[in-house]
Chain A
Amino acid sequence: MKKGLFGASVSAILVPSVYLVVSILLFVFGVKTGLEKIAGQRSSLTEAGKTQTVLQQKESLLRQIAPEVGAQVEVLANAVPEKNPALTMISQIKNLAAVSGITITTFKVGGVNAAGAVSFADVTFDADGELISLISFLNTIKTLAPLSTIDTVKINQQAGTASANTRIRVYFAGYPTKLPSLTEAVGELTAEEEGLLETLSGLSPPSFTTLFPQEPTVRESPFN
């Protein structure tokens, strides 16, 4: 009888204790799992928020610059072209010489150096004219597109006529081949870049002639 009484007491404590332990285990496991899931979600939410901010900023910037970017590309593609601009520079120098009253006697295009981030080619020419016009002509070369630097100039003057053997360096660089990832931020131009763009916009661009295709015409017979 005593054994039965002892068993009932144990049962009276053991059964609710099992419920309590199960409840606590459920609580602990549920809270731990739930918190992990929610933390993962918060992380995804933050990431999605950041991505959206980047995309919004990018879309807004692209819409804002869309009307003017074409003109900027044209200016800069003239300033630093993709391909060797030696012939373009020769044309620019000839035009400038004609305006400055300078006679260009010889032109020579040297080899291309493509070792660095920007490639260059040397253009050498001989020019004759009045000394003041010649120096003014040399000083105006820096206002021509594509960008160039004066390497050496040897000037001789005799009997009021000056002649200059000039070597300038013209620069070019290949275009970028990859766009950044869609979700990668793109920044607008910095103040320094804006200033540089304004300076380069002042360069005299080369003039190109565009030949438009013409419709075929009837060729007259030369035998009639």
Chain B
Amino acid sequence: MKRYDAIVIGGGHNGLVTAAYLARAKQSVLVLERRPRVGGAAVTEEIFPGFKFSMFSYVVSLLRPEIIRDLDLPRHGLHILPLESTVTPMENGDYLAAWGDHDETRRELYRHSPRDAEAYDEYGRLMHFMAQAVKPILGMVPPDPTSFAPGDLVGLLKLGKHFRDLGGERLHALVKLMTMSSADFLDEWFETDVLKATKSASGIIGTFLGPRSPGTAYVLLHHYMGELDGVFRAWGFAKGGTGAVSESIASAARGFGAEIRCDAGVSKVIVGNGRATGVVLENGDEIPARTVVSSLDPRRTFLQLLEPDHLPSDFVSDIRRFKFRGSSGKVNLALDSLPSFTCMPGVGRQHRGAFSISPSLDYVERAYDDAKYGEFSRRPYMDIVFPSMIDPGMAPPGKHVMSIFVQYAPYALNGGWTDAKREAFGDAVVNTVESFAPGFKSLILHRQVITPLDIERITGLSEGNIFAGELALHQLFFLRPAAGWAKFATPVRGFYQCGSGTHPGGGIMGASGRLAAMRILKDGT
């Protein structure tokens, strides 16, 4: 049997990125994916005949430009279509809109608050700068402050210098972003509640925190780091859905000679003499390899693929303590036609952008309160898009698909998730939309409701956490996934981790996959 240089477990976007970079360096690489298709949580599926959905992850922005370049992804079919506007319907029938055109956005803001319209540009400049300042860290292997190795000391000093070079004012802004709640941070800038609510919403994505919880300002920044074709903070759709992103990386990997095998779940990593030597498939087949890389989340990577006695007990307890707490759900709808929102009646350009159901800070905070005590939000925060408006190929002619990202739906629901609870959750979602767009419910042809438990069952992401582990301050950088093991290596020689559960974490970013590949190539195992 062929012995590969590297086996990558899991064909999500990070696993594929690692595979592509390794194959590009002339290694023989095999990717093993449990599901019938690659992509993990970045998949496009025709759930209802003729209607295609980016089933889980649905927008693209964070994908690292150097990956797009190195792997020449546009040649492999990656085509990003811009998502230009965000409209937030308010409870009083008014709205707040941010358009692709900057001057128009400013005029719209001015209508709500001249002061905020003034502050908006300065805020944008600061966030842009902060994102630029933090970006190099995304491409950096985190130094270990507990180590006395020269490499770590140099890394720490470099990091210290990087921060000091920011200069006082910006350094202070960074400290604030790292520690504050998005509500408090935005309070320092703006007075319009609906503006703060809509902005703060990107600070709660994928977390089990509310907009008033410290730590959410960092997630706000994390979402500001997107860059598409050099255009800062642009969000877009991949033509063909997010599955097309995964397919393009897979195609690039194949182009470099990697093999990708679907319907090939891995049950164990084979370890001999403290060294990974291959994997066992769910069907019992064994495949040997010099290096094994897992793109699964830390819990599954270390507690499922390995036996506990392969790992130091401190490390095992650190991984057990690593928090997932999935909080997001998704409702995918096939529509007969587009809904009309009370705040902006009719069908128009607003449907080419997002609708954010975040009418006030209290609204979003209350949605969190429900989840905190184990219930799904009765009136949830939602991010709604109509992919078929941007890529008509997603739905049959004249029909539409609607993607609703929902928070909060706690993984640990009181009494557990059942089919009835899932439908009740779906009802809460469509009823809330209906309150902003009367008549909407009658347009629904098909409905798919996805709970965190479903995300876990289908993609394998523990507790359905979309970032493969919460983006909490104490789970970032040299603590992701555990102190001492944040550099993609693991306590088992020849076994590496490359998923979003490692630095720098989630979103369709690919940075973890790329850094892991670099590390493996450097180790030359």
- Bound pair (A, B): no
- B residues with CB within 8 A of A: none
A residues bordering B, Cβ < 8 Å?
A: none
